[in-house]
Amino acid sequence: MDAIGSRTVLITGVSRGLGRALALELANRGHNIIGCSRAQDALNSLHSQLSSSNPNHNHLFLNADVRLNSSVEELARTVMEKTGVPDIIVNNAGTINKNNKIWEVPPEEFDSVLDTNVKGTANVLRHFVPLMIAAKKQGIIVNISSGWGRSGAALVAPYCASKWAIEGLSRSVAKELPEGMAIVALNPGVINTDMLASCFGTSAALYQAPEAWALKAATMILNLTSADNGASLTV
Which residues are catalytically annotated?
A: 159
Is residue 148 within 8 A of residue 160, CB to CB? The reply is yes
Could you tell me whether strands 32-37 and 140-144 are parallel, antiparallel, or unpaired per DSSP bridges?
Answer: unpaired
Helix (H, G, I), strand (E, B) or coil at 73: helix
Sign for the CA dihedral angle at 4, 8, 11, 16 comes to positive
Sign for the CA dihedral angle at 13, 193, 87, 131 comes to negative
Contacts with 91 (C-beta within 8 Å, 6 or more apart), sequence order: 12, 120, 121, 124, 125, 141, 142, 143, 144
